[in-house]
Amino acid sequence: YGEGLENQKLTNFDVDVGFDPKTQDLEINNTEITMKGITLKVSGHISAQQGWDKLSGNIKAQSPVIAVDALPAVWPAVWDVGARHWLVDRMDKGRVANLSVDVPFTATRTKLEPKPEATEDDPEYKWDIANGTIKANFDFTGVSINYREPMLPVQNATGIGTYEGLALTLDLAKANIGKLEVKKGSVHFDDLITPGTGKADLHLTLHGPVGSVFEYLEKEPISYRRKVDIDGSKGKGIADVELFTTFPTTKDMRVEDVKVKADAILRNLVMPAAVKGMTLAGDEFKLEASESHFKIDGKGTIEGRPATLVWAERFEPKAGDEYASSLEADISTDKPLRLHFIGEGLENRVDGIIPAKIKMLTLPDGKGTLDVMAQLSDARIDFTNPFNFVKEKGVKATATLTGTLQNNYLQSLDTLMVKGDGISLDGGKITFTRDSANAPVLSTASLKNLRMGATDASLDASWKNENDIKATVSGNSFDARYIMGNTKPAEGNEKPATAKTPMAYDVSIKTGKLYIADTPLENVSGAFVGNADGTVGKARVDATAGGTPAKLQYDAGGLLWQSDNAGAALSAFGVTDRVRGGKLSVAAKPLEKGNAGDMKGTVVIEDFSVVKAPTLAKLVNLLSVPGLLNILSQDTGLKFARAESDIVFLNRTTGPVIQFADGRTSGSSLGLTFEGEVDTGSDSIAI
């Protein structure tokens, strides 16, 4: 074969040649060639035609064993093409045994045209040699194939190799990639001869630790951790993997030229910090990974809660791709799990188990969608802030919602519907901002036909921050007891602790009923500005109480409160429920040297009665006035023609305090003087 071969030094050369003059056939038998420790046994048949101008035949070379590390020393320079790169440079260790190579050839001698200045040393003829289909087969043991760093190499490979024409196939009986065991596999090179062409296809069946699978996938070209925040090397379990790899057989192969696809079954999986820092576990999960995507799906648990999961990521999504990130989960959520998804800002309202079906889809531009269907029956949800309502465990309810994501973070809930016993929402939209810890914070809310507890209304609200709400409410009824700082604990529940920073509110209301206290105002049009700790900044109410008009005007300039049913108005505004009937008139101006909102003025109530008043009952009992105690205990109560008093209205953070001085009553039953105070914050009267 010319160049390269003549430089090989032979340490042994035994030739046995037979020639038949009649047939012009040449037989080569029992020939051995040894060079640099490698012995080749050669045999063959050559036929001469056309007066020895043409030779054709077949040469067979065999070797019992060749160390792979010895191949570079004897490889002919003439064959310094793809074959050398993949059979010599990228393979080491181990040995090749039972090598057998068949080389059919045809050699044709042609006469050369004489040169103008020919010399006697110039050749008169030249030989053109053409190979037929070269075939070879061999065994190999303990061979390493390092096809592309930093990909993990195939090590300690044992199997059978076949070569035919331009192609080489290595059938693996066993090997290792890292700690993964190759149960079977093949490596096929389609063209190892033609410069600049050809590709290799690897198909390996692997078995081993889950952590070792992810160690392989962490290397280029997959590099799954560039998009998927999982340290899979810490995973536990057993994996069965089908690995497919394709790459060009060129010396200058780039990492982006390598195409890898892994299909795996992960059994008895325990993967710490797999989903938002939570452990993913289960009997069996499917894993797909390639240089372009990552997907895992199966049934198991997330942080100990039952879950069915399908999660897919594209590493370099392009415009037009169906998704950049996709998550579908059917999961039974508890409080710790929900904290990872929605944070303390919302989760501190919820207690109990919520089964939910979740779909999250993120597009290449970072925009995404969220779809959730949740069963709320086994959960307690605290809507005390701001609706003074708690959905208890055991009360049936379902919720469906769709949302908008940006870079996998929730931006808004675009549709929200709730159906259940005693609670419903026909539609809603809620938007969020993010705090410094990237947790969701309410920004705006639009709720249509919200029904829960005493509320049956539509609401449009916005938050400057989590403690500052501006809202417009319209509908049949609205429970403002929490907002106004007049919330009483529900039966069996503790009253919510006062927030470190009380919620500021600016609410406009137009409803059929308004609950500031347990008895509602009706036909309400009004506005309130203040804090949920009980401090009122402004209040304007036009309503009816007990079927008669009631009007309240309170701001920095003064206080005006009028009603043709004093008892109903005092009860509806949370002052006292012990007065019946009467006409109420309160007028006050800002208190000198008082706090903001403190007022001083007078109160007058005409033609009213008092019922079940403990202080009066004690007084009447001490006086032993016949019949009065019985009258006081009746619904009609003690009647008074008039009561008037100087008042001081103190606007306190725990709720308004109303102080009375120089109070006087007159009437057919009893005349009194009185002083003292009503503390709405502590719901107490000291007269």
Per-residue pLDDT, 623? 61
Instruction: Say if 109 falls within a structural domain.
Output: yes
Identify the weakest region by mean pLDDT among 386-390, 560-564, 661-665: 386-390
Does 336 sit behind a cis peptide bond, omega within 30 degrees of 0 on the bond before it?
no
Instruction: Say if 196 falls within a structural domain.
Output: no
Instruction: Say if 449 falls within a structural domain.
Output: no
Domain boundary among 118, 139, 160: 139
Instruction: Say if 249 falls within a structural domain.
Output: no
Q: What is the pTM of this model?
A: 0.72
Identify the weakest region by mean pLDDT among 49-58, 130-139, 250-259, 406-415: 250-259
Instruction: Say if 250 falls within a structural domain.
Output: no
Domain boundary among 111, 139, 167: 139
User: For residues 309 and 281, is the Cβ–Cβ distance under 8 A?
Assistant: no
Instruction: Say if 606 falls within a structural domain.
Output: yes
Instruction: Say if 182 falls within a structural domain.
Output: no
In the predicted model, what is the mean pLDDT of residues 513-526?
A: 94
In the predicted model, what is the mean pLDDT of residues 401-405?
A: 92
Domain boundary among 113, 139, 165: 139
In the predicted model, what is the mean pLDDT of residues 234-262?
A: 89
Confidence of residue 495 (pLDDT cuts 50, 70, 90): very low
Tokens representing residue 527 in the block:
């506005």
- For the cut 70, the answer to whether the pLDDT of residue 601 exceeds it is yes
Per-residue pLDDT, 490? 47
User: For residues 587 and 602, is the Cβ–Cβ distance under 8 A?
Assistant: yes
In the predicted model, what is the mean pLDDT of residues 522-534?
A: 86
Confidence of residue 376 (pLDDT cuts 50, 70, 90): very high
Identify the weakest region by mean pLDDT among 126-135, 198-207, 512-521, 677-686: 677-686
Task: State how far the alpha carbon of 240 is from the alpha carbons of 158, 180, 262, 288, 507, in Å.
Answer: 20, 9, 10, 12, 62
Q: In this predicted model, which residue has the larger pLDDT, 512 or 388? A: 512
- For the cut 60, the answer to whether the pLDDT of residue 5 exceeds it is no
In the predicted model, what is the mean pLDDT of residues 259-266?
A: 95
Per-residue pLDDT, 491? 46
Per-residue pLDDT, 493? 46
| Whole-number Å distance between alpha carbons of 522 and 513 | 4
pLDDT tens track for 49-76: 888 899 999 999 999 999 988 887 767 6
Per-residue pLDDT, 1? 34
What angle is formed at CA 498 by the lines to CA 492 and CA 503, rounded to 5 degrees? 120
In the predicted model, what is the mean pLDDT of residues 203-218?
A: 94
Could you tell me if residue 315 is left (phi over 0), alpha (psi between -120 and 50 degrees) or otherwise beta? Answer: alpha
Per-residue pLDDT, 624? 56
pLDDT tens track for 284-311: 999 999 988 999 999 999 988 899 999 9
pLDDT tens track for 318-341: 998 999 999 999 999 888 777 766
How would you write 36-75 as a 3-class SS string? CCEEEEEEEEEEEECCCCEEEEEEEEEEEEEEHHHHHHHC
Q: Say what the alpha-carbon torsion angle 69, 72, 74, 76 is, to the nearest 10 degrees.
A: 150
Instruction: Say if 288 falls within a structural domain.
Output: no
Instruction: Give the chain's domain count.
Output: 2
Per-residue pLDDT, 238? 98
Confidence of residue 617 (pLDDT cuts 50, 70, 90): low
pLDDT tens track for 645-658: 999 999 887 778 99
| Whole-number Å distance between alpha carbons of 109 and 127 | 4
The widest CA-to-CA distance across the chain, in whole angstroms, is: 160
In the predicted model, what is the mean pLDDT of residues 103-108?
A: 92
Q: In this predicted model, which residue has the larger pLDDT, 451 or 635? A: 451
Mean pLDDT rounded to a whole number for the chain = 86
The residue segments making up the domain with residue 67 are 5-139
Confidence of residue 616 (pLDDT cuts 50, 70, 90): low
> Smallest Cα–Cα separation from 607: which of 565, 570, 670, 551?
565
> Smallest Cα–Cα separation from 361: which of 408, 308, 393, 309?
408
DSSP secondary structure letter of residue 498: P
- For the cut 90, the answer to whether the pLDDT of residue 544 exceeds it is yes
Which H helix or E strand runs over 385?
helix 384-387
pLDDT tens track for 142-165: 999 887 777 888 999 999 999 998
Per-residue pLDDT, 460? 95
Q: In this predicted model, which residue has the larger pLDDT, 536 or 539? A: 539
